[in-house]
Amino acid sequence: MQEIFEKNPKLSMNIFYILISTILYALSFPKFNLWWFSFVSLVPFFFALDNADSPLKNLLYGVLWSAGHAFGMGYWVFFTILNHYEVPFAKSVLFFTLCVIIPVVLIFTVFAVFYRFLHRERLFFYALVVPSLWVLAEYLKEVASFLIPWGGIEYALIPFSEFIQIADLTGGYGIMFIAVSVNSLFVYMLKQLKFQKAKQVTHDKNHNNPLGISGAGVLIPLALICLLMAIPSVYGVHQLRKIGLSVGQEYKAGQSVQTTLVQGNYSTKERWSGMGFYQRVMNYLEMSVEMPIETIGDEGQGGERVIVWPETTLNSSSKLNDALFVELMRNIGENSLLISGGLKTDHNSNEVFNSAYFISGTGRLLRYDKHILLPYSETSPLIDLLDAYYSAPNEFTAGRTPLCINAPGGKVGASICFEILYSGFIRQSVKDGAQYLVNISNDSWFGDSPMPYIHLNAARLRAVENRRFLLRTSNSGISAVISPNGKVIAQSGLFTKERIDGDFVKFDQLSFYAMYGNLILLGSAIILLTALIQVIIKKD
């Protein structure tokens, strides 16, 4: 191996570039939160692809970057399988390899191959073709049933509040497109700068331009980078002010609704051992009400309020009967709506659903069933590598309920756990009429990894895209009240037992993104088709 690297110093340098790229990419995400690396983290990777002197090298670099990316961003999956699901070590390694590394390798190896096939030393390629190819590659995670669309570069940029506001026009894929374009343009600019300096040394020693920098070669990509950074930021400043005024007016008009998010922080064994179901429900109820349970009668507590409990809190189908729901309705108060995760078993078909129950103090009971199931945990699209965990179902049925729930007091866009990562799915609930969004989850199996924070960032981006308040509660955190500008109004800690109180406003107006969706995907497809035609014409 050492002899190979000694004989191929260029190979060694390119592998070093790839290593740096994967490190910078991971550092841009929580918990490091060095988000500014998002604009340069792909530069070394693209340099390596440009330096590849054969298709096989492009393939190799794609595999290496993909594997490094999978390890850097998804290492926690291995420890989750090993510790949370208590799967043996060898089987955990097999799961991590087959279900995390290989899918990512397939996607970005395809990207690397197409990168070489479409490559041209032209501004069009770096400014438009590369980000288009990247966006469509990432979109594959959303459409393939065995993949999950997490780890997109747009989630690293959430702390750059002004920049992400453009998501109400372009969606998260638009932010991704811009960030990748900036990375790619840096590559083009640096290559042009290197070319101009080499030209100066060999041919233009007496030229009046001491740096040998041409406007088209260097200044144009630099100007484009500045515009790609400045335009979203200026737009974001305007939108932050506009949304802030709109929310403030609703508050002054007395249109806000109280909300209570309850984070029980029960361990996985406590939740699924089959013991203590009623005690957990009563603890949640005690944390939810404003007065001790015994002092609350049928009169209710007064004032509209939405209470949200985490995913699968009501996780024993056999104990979910009319008596329990009536008890919950009586204790939450007449003007309250309780949204709680739970299970639903259809005894006729034996189907099991991961559900959200909408329990009204006025006596109404509605349900949303999770539509997008988590691969390998809630469904097995390819292989079943995870064993049953206590009483937890290891196979669910995809829901068929409406995405927008016409609950008492307003229409709700419901989502459970990883459904919040699917931008088009959340958008559809808003287009169907949702006035606010609710996401219930259980992130305890992530451990103290970056994923709870990335999951929260995804929720923040969905709030910006659709300009809706989003109420998010998780069994172990992070629970949060998120405003339509993506800012967290109130949030819990991680692995704490606590209650979060806040208020929110219901909105009806649709953002451009909510109305028209991911037009950036169509634009990317057109750009790639144009690039492909150019390649074919040139070969002919």
pLDDT at 398: 92
Q: Is residue 136 part of a domain?
A: yes
d(CA 405, CA 411): 6
Same domain, 205 and 327: no
Q: Is residue 265 part of a domain?
A: yes
Closest among 386, 467, 378, 454 to 421, alpha carbons compared: 454
| C-alpha dihedral, 268 to 272 to 275 to 280, nearest 10° | 60
CATH number of the domain that residue 441 is part of: 3.60.110.10
Determine the residue type at 107.
I
Range of the domain at 280: 256-509
pLDDT at 2: 52
Q: Is residue 514 part of a domain?
A: no
DSSP 523: H
pLDDT at 290: 63
Which structure tokens are listed for 153? 């570069």
Same domain, 209 and 308: no
pLDDT at 203: 55
Helix or strand (DSSP H, E) at 336: strand 336-346
Same domain, 90 and 219: yes
pLDDT at 15: 93
Same domain, 535 and 498: no
Same domain, 113 and 223: yes
Could you tell me how far CA 311 lies from the centroid of its own chain? 18
Q: Is 308 helix (H, G, I), strand (E, B) or coil?
A: strand
Burial of 53 per CB tally in 10 Å (0-12, 13-18, 19+): exposed
Same domain, 150 and 276: no
Strands 410-416 and 480-482: unpaired
| Contacts of range 47-53, beta carbons closer than 8 Å, 24 or more positions apart | 47/14, 47/17, 47/187, 48/14, 48/15, 48/17, 48/18, 48/21, 49/112, 49/115, 49/116, 49/119, 50/119, 50/187, 50/191, 51/10, 51/13, 51/14, 51/17, 52/14, 52/116, 53/10
Same domain, 27 and 91: yes
CA quadruple 239, 516, 144, 394: dihedral sign: positive
Residue 283 makes CB contacts below 8 A (sequence gap 6+) with 264
pTM, two decimal places: 0.91
Could you tell me how far CA 286 lies from the centroid of its own chain? 32
Q: Is residue 291 part of a domain?
A: yes
Kindly give the confidence (pLDDT) of every residue in the chain, 540 residues in length, as a single tens digit, with 9 standing for 90 and above: 455 545 566 888 999 999 999 999 999 999 899 999 999 999 999 999 999 888 999 999 999 999 999 988 888 888 877 777 777 888 888 878 888 888 889 999 999 999 999 999 999 999 999 999 999 999 999 988 778 888 899 999 999 999 999 999 999 999 999 999 999 999 999 998 887 776 665 555 555 544 444 555 788 999 999 999 999 999 999 999 999 999 999 998 888 999 999 999 988 777 776 678 899 999 999 999 865 444 444 433 447 899 999 998 998 888 888 999 999 999 998 889 999 999 998 888 889 999 999 999 888 999 999 999 988 777 765 555 555 554 556 678 999 999 999 999 899 999 999 999 999 999 999 999 999 999 999 988 888 888 999 999 999 999 999 999 999 999 998 999 999 999 999 999 999 999 999 999 999 999 999 999 999 999 999 999 999 998 888 765
Same domain, 417 and 500: yes
Same domain, 117 and 199: yes
Which structure tokens are listed for 260? 């209570």
Determine the residue type at 259.
T
**Domains in the chain, number:** 2
DSSP 486: S
Q: Is residue 250 part of a domain?
A: no
Angle at 271 between CA 80 and CA 320, to 5 degrees: 135
Same domain, 185 and 310: no
| CB-CB contact of 376 with 354 (8 Å) | no
Closest among 402, 409, 415 to 472, alpha carbons compared: 415
- C-alpha distance from residue 282 to each of 51, 137, 294, 328, 330 (Å): 63, 46, 12, 9, 13
> Tokens 């950074």 belong to which residue?
229
DSSP 290: S
Q: Is residue 185 part of a domain?
A: yes
Same domain, 261 and 129: no
Same domain, 219 and 171: yes
